[in-house]
Chain A
Amino acid sequence: MRNAFGQPQTVLVLGGTSEIAHHVVLQLVRERTTTVVLAGRDKGRLEDAASELREAGATTVETITFDASDPSTAGATIDDAFHAAGGPIDLVLLAVGQLGDQDISDNDPVATIKLFDVNLTWPAAALAALRGRLISQGMGHVAVFSSVAGVRVRRANFTYGATKAGLDALAQGFGDSVRSSGIKVQIVRPGFVRTKMTQGLSEAPFTTDVDQAAETIVKGLSSSATVIWSPPVLQGVFFIMKNLPGFLWRRLPG
């Protein structure tokens, strides 16, 4: 059960090898979290993350595998996750996603489909599977990992940006639809975070380390904000970006 501060005891991470989500859970384990279910693609890396969480104090950590490029697996994955948790789940971190490579997806329909499957179709199906589960357990909290890349889509990663824009919109509507059932849905919009996923890419302004991002997100999770920006300054920056006239936006680098 979550407490008056919204601190969860049981957490499910969809995208269990996501570095940002992992650091968020590490901090939650220092608060009240004792049970964690990690769902991801790579069994070995999930087990590594699981043992780190056990060392940090989690008493029960379960891992389950799925392939997000096959959206038909979403329903079964959610079923497995609730089974592994052995009871109600207080917080779901939906952190499934890939960055992709714009140079490839520019001209490759198959790569484009795959990126949409992983970043949007699988998460959409997972939310649909979660909905009834959360309503019948009578409470819940979902944090959907979007990105500032979806707020205004840049030409340098427009396919990725478009998947996140779609996910962001879906999460907002999903949140509104379950609000009266006592389920809290928050959208997490990180900027550029130094992780394996972004290794080798040139850093954007307001880049943060994964620890900083996790700290901002954990703080946001116990707030009533519908969108968690990391770092918080990006809320203002992207308000301006979003409203820039197209001719100026196109002149910005990358």
Chain B
Amino acid sequence: MIDATEELLTGWGNTAPSLARVERPRTGSEVEEAFEDMTGPMIPRGLGRSYGDAAQCAGGTVVSNRGLWHLSPIDPETGLVTLGAGVSLEELLAVSIPAGYFVPVTPGTRQVTIGGAIGADIHGKNHHVDGSFTKHVTSMTLATPTGVVTLTQKSDPELFWATAGGMGLTGIITQATLQMIPITTSYVTVDTERFNDLDGVMNAMLSGDDDYRYSVAWVDCMTSGPKMGRGVLTRGDHAPRSALSGRSARKPLVAPSSSMLTVPFTPPSGLLNRLSITAFNEAWFRKAPQRRDGEIQSLGSFFHPLDGVSWWNRLHGHRGFLQYQFVVDDAHGEVIRQAIEVLSAASVPSFLAVLKRFGPADPGPLSFPLKGWTLALDMPIGPPQLADVLDQLDIMVAEAGGRIYLAKDSRLSPELLRAMYPDVQKLEEVRKRIDPKGVLASDLSRRLGLS
């Protein structure tokens, strides 16, 4: 018997809750069992870090992948690791770092599962060099309504790539083999630079990002006038042993520890408002150095600063929040500035935005990255103008040939999804083949009219 309960689920943004039967299979054959007699709707879920409704299924079944937990040792010859889809990056890193391996791609949190990382085809600070997550997956086992398949990038490229960024709509990943990267220390050498305006940040990224494996800028979207878009750029590479001294040199490979702090309950909405967010952005900008080279930071503090506080999403209050992340190509870099101007003119409070450069797009029809610029902004739900302002941004982004990231989305319209992802039919064709009865569906797929 598969363990199951009724649960009210939301994404990380705490918006639009829906009730579903949550099943927790522990083996591949229990996943197959979950598909038996299933008429749908049904969708997999990992750690629920998608901001919107990707891993919700109102009135249907949500299959948690967290019971699919097994982890083989990393092959010292090849750096390949085979693991259950429910293993989180934190759990993987706890084992891999002491053995001298890091994940090929990590988002801003370790709290994502392998299945979720493939389903959203996540990217990290190294996209301009290494591409998205699924590119580093050499094979995966996928349970679909028409059977279980083991996929490689060659065996069934349509299904493999439709699954990359397919938001769980091609089936339930039960296991994957991942190409890890060797590291000699669990530290990063970091160069930090502070810029007083957006042009300064963007020019530095254009001219210098190629010299670094990892690069990200934090941009202040709440300061208007000449200082609009001022920011702090941090770039780095894995530190060699020779860069370490003292205690870190004696213990060069230490796995990041789990968070010590937690937000124990949801405070009233409005705690994070224009005033408090402006003050936070100001303090954060001032604390950064004008320029500092070669600073040694731990992997955890460089890659996963928000993992220091569990359930930080609760700080946005009971109304919840959303993240707006879009990408435009290099020819439309001005859309980054225009978007910040639109938000600033509409007085929409927004936390520090994350600005990054992407390398070439990956093959998944719903995979997010495009070569160019991506900007991600956190915003609390509440300002009455927010819904219209974001609709306006969607149109700007779509007209520039850009798109928004479905793992963050909670409000895009079906029409603009098709404008932004012209290859969406490729996913729909694959779905017709492996899911002819249309069992797999989420709140997101129904909201966006994905067949």
Q: Contacts A182-B8, A222-B387 hold; do A7 and B411 have CB atoms under 8 A apart?
A: yes
CB proximity to B under 8 Å, residues A218-241: 219, 222, 224
Determine whether the beta carbon of B387 is less than 8 Å from that of A139: no
Q: Give the complex CA separation of A3 and B416 in angstroms.
A: 15
Digitize B142-160: 1 where CB-to-A-CB distance is under 8 Å, 0 elsewhere: 0000000000000000000
Tell me which residues across on chain A come within 8 A of B236, comparing CB atoms.
none
Contact between chains at B17 and A139 (CB < 8 Å): yes
Q: A88-B58, A139-B59, A219-B384 are in contact. Are A4 and B320 (CB under 8 A)?
A: yes
* Cβ–Cβ contact B13 & A137, under 8 A: no
Q: In the bound complex, how far is the Cα of B6 from the Cα of A136, in angstroms? A: 11
Query: Residues of B contacting A180 with CB < 8 Å?
Result: 8
Q: For the complex formed, measure the closest distance between the CB of B370 and the CB atoms of chain A, giving whole angstroms.
A: 24
Least CB distance, B293 to chain A, in whole angstroms: 41
Residues of B within 8 A of A137 (CB): 58-59
- Whether A4 pairs with B52 at a CB distance below 8 angstroms is yes
Instruction: Check: B291 CB closer than 8 A to any chain A CB.
Output: no
Quick check: is A32 within 8 A (CB to CB) of the other chain? yes
Quote the shortest CB–CB distance from A228 to chain B (angstroms): 14
Q: Which residues of chain A have C-beta atoms less than 8 A from B320's C-beta?
A: 4
Q: Is B410 an interface residue (CB 8 A)?
A: yes
With CB as the reference atom, state the residue of chain A lying closest to B443.
A1
Say whether, besides A139-B18, A182-B17, A5 and B58 are in contact (CB < 8 Å): no
Question: In residues 55-113 of chain A, which contact B (Cβ within 8 Å)?
Answer: 87-88
Residue in chain A with minimal CB distance to B412? A3
Q: For residues 93 through 122 of chain B, which have their beta carbon under 8 Å from a beta carbon of chain A?
A: none
CB distance from B13 to the nearest CB of A (A): 6
Say whether B15 contacts A139, CB under 8 Å. Answer: no
Return chain B residues, CB-CB under 8 Å to A224: 318-319
Closest Cβ of chain B to A234, distance in Å, is 19
* A198 in contact (CB, < 8 A): no
Task: Enumerate chain A residues within 8 angstroms of B254, measured Cβ to Cβ.
Answer: none
Is the Cβ of A31 less than 8 Å from the Cβ of B387? Answer: yes
Q: How far is the CA of A5 from the CA of B389 in the complex (A)?
A: 12
Contact between B16 and A6 (Cβ–Cβ < 8 Å)? yes
Q: How far is it, in angstroms, between the C-alpha of A31 and the C-alpha of B391 when the chains are bound?
A: 9
Report A-chain residues with C-beta under 8 Å of the C-beta of B20.
138
Cβ contact within 8 Å between B384 and A181? no
* A31-B387, A139-B17, A224-B318 known; A5 vs B59 contact (CB < 8 Å): no
Q: Is the CB of B443 within 8 A of A5?
A: no
Q: Are B58 and A1 within 8 A (Cβ)?
A: yes
* B70 CB, nearest partner CB in chain A, Å: 31
Encode contact with B along A1-19: 1 for CB under 8 Å, 0 otherwise. Answer: 1111111010000000000
| Chain B residues, Cβ within 8 Å of A32 | 413
Nearest-neighbor residue (CB-CB) of A224 within chain B:
B319
Known A139-B17, A180-B8; contact A3-B318, beta-carbon cutoff 8 A: no
Q: Is the CB of B386 within 8 A of A5?
A: yes
A128 at the A/B interface (Cβ < 8 Å)? no
B19 on interface, CB distance cutoff 8 Å: yes
Bound form: Cα–Cα A1–B58 in Å: 9
Interface size class of A (residues with CB under 8 A): 20 to 34
Number of inter-chain CB pairs below 8 Å: 70
Tell me the residues in window 36-63 of chain B with beta carbons closer than 8 Å to chain A beta carbons: 52-53, 57-60
- The answer, among B16, B52, B410, B444, for a CB contact under 8 Å with A139, is B16
- A136, B53: Cα distance in complex, Å: 18
The complex places the Cα of A118 from the Cα of B59 at a distance, in Å, of 31
Q: How far is the CA of A75 from the CA of B222 in the complex (A)?
A: 52
Known: A181-B8, A219-B384. A4 touches B60 (CB 8 A): no
Q: Does B241 make an interface contact (CB < 8 A)?
A: no
Question: Looking across the interface, which residue of chain A has its beta carbon closest to that of B447?
Answer: A1
Interfacial chain A residues near B59, Cβ < 8 Å: 88, 136-139
Would A3 and B319 count as touching, CB distance under 8 A?
Answer: no
Known: A1-B447, A32-B413, A224-B318. A182 touches B384 (CB 8 A): no
- A244 close to B (CB within 8 Å): no
Check A3 against B58 for contact (C-beta < 8 Å): no
Would you call A4 and B410 a contact (CB within 8 A)?
A: yes
Give min CB distance, A221 to chain B, whole Å. Answer: 12
Assembled-state Cα–Cα distance A135/B19 (Å): 8
Bound together, the chains give a CA A181 to CA B17 distance in angstroms of 9
A182 touches B19 (CB 8 A): yes
A-B contact pairs, 13 of them (CB 8 A): A3-B15, A4-B13, A4-B411, A5-B387, A6-B16, A31-B387, A88-B58, A139-B16, A139-B18, A139-B59, A181-B19, A219-B384, A224-B319
> Which residues from chain A sit less than 8 Å from chain B, CB to CB?
1-7, 9, 31-32, 87-88, 135-139, 180-182, 219, 222, 224
A-B pairs, 7 with minimum CB distance: A138-B58, A138-B59, A4-B410, A4-B15, A1-B447, A138-B19, A139-B18
13 new A-B contacts, CB < 8 A, other than A4-B13, A5-B381, A9-B447, are: A1-B58, A4-B320, A4-B381, A4-B411, A5-B411, A6-B16, A136-B59, A138-B57, A181-B8, A181-B19, A182-B17, A222-B387, A224-B319
